[in-house]
Amino acid sequence: MNILFVAIGGFFGAISRFGVNNWIKSRFHAHFPIATLMVNLVGSFLLGLLIGAKLGHTWELLLGTGFMGAFTTFSTFKLDSIQLWNNTQGKSMTLYLSASYTFGILLALIGMRMGMMFG
């Protein structure tokens, strides 16, 4: 049954990421990976919120491992970083890496604290 929860969450997480990425890219025509950055930051916050709320193992599988695992994307984050470097956009790469790590950790922490308050 656990694998089914992960699969269902993953299905909806992947579709959501696809939709959000396309929506952001259609509004921001930049050479900066803003869509991946936004998805990963939102995902960090939501995963922190979920973990902080301690909703239980089933919800963590469905929403944490499944949905957030598919919604956020570490591989695209790394590929974007390499592409910025290869396109001699070192400043953009540094900004992207710094914002991703700093704000990702901060938003996960804020999400966990909020989850503990509401959970």
Q: What ranges do the domains of the chain cover?
A: 2-118
DSSP code of residue 34: H
Token couple for 13 = 């997480």
Q: What is the pLDDT of residues 83-118, one digit of tens each?
A: 999 999 999 999 999 999 999 999 999 999 999 998
Length of the chain: 119
Residue 119: predicted pLDDT: 72
pTM: 0.93
Token pair belonging to 102: 């700093």
Choose among 66, 41, 55, 60: nearest CA to 116: 55
Residue 74, SS3 per DSSP: helix
pLDDT digits (tens, 9 = 90+) for 31-71: 899 999 999 999 999 999 999 999 999 999 999 999 999 99
